[in-house]
Amino acid sequence: MKNIFNQLNTNEILDRIDQLRPNSQPRWGKMDVAQMLAHCSSFQDIAMGNSTSARSWIGILIGKFVKPIVYNDKPLPKNMSTIPTLIIVDKREFEIEKEILKQKIIMFQSNGPEKCTKHPHPFFGKLTSEEWGKCIYKHLDHHLKQFDV
C-alpha cells in the first residue's frame, strides 16, 4: 500500500495536484476543485496535529471494524461520508488552496513519521504514524481521482 512518507508517492501526488485546473470538474460529490483542495488541507492539519476533531459516536462504535476499508489497495468508495468539520462549502481561491495543500504535503512528508499526530483519527481512533501515512496517501488519491487526475 502506498504511503505519503515514501518520497516517490509524495512526488506522484504533487505531480497529480499540478495537473488540476481551476475549471476541473468532479466525477462525483458536491465540492468544486478549490473546495476539495481546502478539504484535503484540513485533513492534513489533523494528521499533523495542527487541529483536532472530536470522535464521532459512530466512529467510536464501529471505527476499528471498518478501518480495513482504508488499509488495503482498493479505492475508497465514492460519496462516502466525511468528518463534518472538513466539509468545505464556502468559495475558495484555486491557486491559493493548491499551493497551501502542496506545502502541507511537503512539510508532512519531510517531518517524517515521528512528527505525526498522536491524536486519534476522528473516525478510526488511534493510528500509528504508518497508518496515518497510508491514510493521507489514500485520501489524496481518492480526491484526485474524483477530479480525473
Residue 105, domain member (yes or no) = yes
**Structural domain that includes position 43:** 7-20+27-146
Query: Which tens digit of pLDDT belongs to each residue from 17-34?
Result: 999 999 999 999 999 999
Q: Note the pTM of the prediction, 2 decimals.
A: 0.93
Residue 54, domain member (yes or no) = yes
Q: 3-class DSSP state for residue 121?
A: strand
Quick one: DSSP state of residue 8? Answer: H
Give the span between the Cα atoms of 56 and 124, in whole angstroms: 9
Give the span between the Cα atoms of 11 and 103, in whole angstroms: 12
Among 148, 120, 114, residue whose Cα is nearest residue 135: 120
Query: Which tens digit of pLDDT belongs to each residue from 48-64?
Result: 999 988 888 888 888 88
Query: Which tens digit of pLDDT belongs to each residue from 89-147?
Result: 999 999 999 999 999 999 999 999 999 999 999 889 999 999 999 999 999 999 999 99
Give the span between the Cα atoms of 8 and 34, in whole angstroms: 25
Average model confidence (pLDDT) across the chain: 93
- Would you state the cell numbers that stand for residue 109, as one nine-digit string? 512528508
